[in-house]
Copies of this chain bind each other. A is one copy, B any other.
Amino acid sequence: MQFSQAEYDARLHATKTRMHERGIDLLLVTDPANMNYLTGYDGWSFYVPQLVLVHLEAAQPIWIGRKMDARAAEVTTYLTRENIIGYPDDYVQSLIKHPFDYVADRIIAWGWGEQVIGLEMDSYYFTATSYFSLHHQLPNARFQDAALLVNWVRAVKSEAEIDLMRRAARILEKCMTTGIERVQEGVRQCDAAADIIHAQISGTPEYGGDYTSIVPMLPSGEGTSTPHLTWSDQPFNRGEATILELAGCHQRYHCPQARTVFLGQPPQKLSDAASWVLEGMDAALDAVKPGALCEDVEYAWRECVAKYGLTKDSRIGYSTGCNYPPDWGEHTMSLRPGDRTELQENMCFHMILGIWMDDWGLEISETFRVTDKGAECLADVPRPLVVKD
């Protein structure tokens, strides 16, 4: 168990409190990070339907997944055996029946088929077909969109979670240092990526690294004009920039960070943009304090870089922590205009200042914790544009 039973109990209690406030009797939790958060469940089994059911009146959640994964639930969760239920394999990728048909049958058997059921309607692994399976099988249930209900509980981290993110930060420092070192003229991108991921997974002598929810991004050359290209087997070239957007991960908790490297003498526009971004980042980090709004942080950035004519039309950050592929973001708070969420101590954000132009770009980012005094960046890697001439 990663966390104490008391911590899992507190998470469940906070979830039930939100359910109660919204009149939800039964919550179906399909986001793998939320499943992990509430029960400890961990495994690469989210490619088949699986979920955790939280009922207001049940002492423990119930895990339902594929039968072959039920042992993984026994190994990784605190749930008692009767609260771990595997569905038969012929439900998997069947053309005639769906795992949520099975889930609906169980819900009826437990007498919950006419209650208010909360669904994570916009979760990656809750498909439209999953919804219609429940809708057809449970004609007397009242469904409510409970998207992000548990994600919001996750927004403020415990000390134990912060400890895991600090471990992830140590791993991130190691793999960012490796990445910066390996971006060299003539080195194939895939060989640099291999060394970066090796550092991510081997971790430190004291604790290992886990797979990250997003693989290393290392767009290079013209590719820096767009953020989500992965590596190729072409070499890095002199006269080109490479963006490294990486994370360390420990027990599913992430610390992401981005840096930009230039091989040769960078063009003035890139050096200028990098220095403006650093100044804007300082301004934005200075605006972080409990009680400030998410949009206040973005405004500090916006106002600072406006004097250089620099604008950015995408958000500058989002909440991060425990997660599974395909995203290490929590989909709750964003640092952007209109997000009036108040910052609280122990919220954690990835502030990512990415500038993507026609045929060039750069990214510099930090993962920070909100403290009573301001922003604490979790990892310690020099921020400026790395110039290797």
- Which A residues fall within an 8 A CB radius of B? 42-47, 67-72, 75-76, 88-90, 92-93, 98, 119, 121-132, 145, 147, 188-191, 193-195, 197-203, 207-211, 214-215, 217, 222-223, 225-233, 313-315, 318, 325-327, 329, 331, 334, 336, 338, 354, 356
Contact = CB atoms under 8 A, between A and B. Distances in A.
A214 B44 CA distance: 8
A194 B202 contact: yes
A373 to B, nearest CB: 29
The 10 closest A-B pairs by CB, nearest first: A208-B233, A190-B208, A71-B226, A122-B129, A128-B131, A47-B327, A194-B201, A89-B314, A194-B202, A47-B326
A128 B122 contact: yes
Contacts of A75: 222-223, 226, 229
Nearest to A331: B93
Contacts of A70: 226
A125 B329 CA distance: 16
B43 A230 contact: yes
B128 A72 contact: no
Given A203-B190, A313-B88, A43 B228 contact: yes
A16 B145 CA distance: 35
20 contacts: A44-B215, A44-B230, A44-B326, A67-B314, A68-B226, A69-B227, A92-B314, A93-B329, A93-B334, A124-B125, A128-B130, A129-B147, A189-B208, A190-B202, A195-B198, A201-B231, A207-B233, A211-B215, A211-B230, A325-B325
Query: How many copies of this protein are present in the complex?
Result: 2
A2 to B, nearest CB: 11
B45 A228 contact: yes
Given A71-B356, A129-B147, A356-B68, A47 B214 contact: yes
B122 A127 contact: yes
A291 B325 CA distance: 38
A211 B199 CA distance: 15
Contacts of A190: 201-203, 208-210
A89 to B, nearest CB: 4
A127 B124 contact: yes
A260 B25 CA distance: 45
Given A197-B194, A227-B69, A217 B125 contact: no
B121 A69 contact: no
Contacts of A131: 128, 131
A140 to B, nearest CB: 19
Given A69-B226, A89-B314, A208-B232, 13 more contacts: A44-B229, A44-B326, A68-B354, A71-B225, A89-B313, A89-B336, A93-B318, A93-B334, A127-B127, A191-B202, A197-B197, A197-B198, A211-B230
Contacts of A318: 93
Contacts of A92: 314-315, 334
Interface-central residue, A198, A207, A331, by most chain B CB under 10 Å: A198
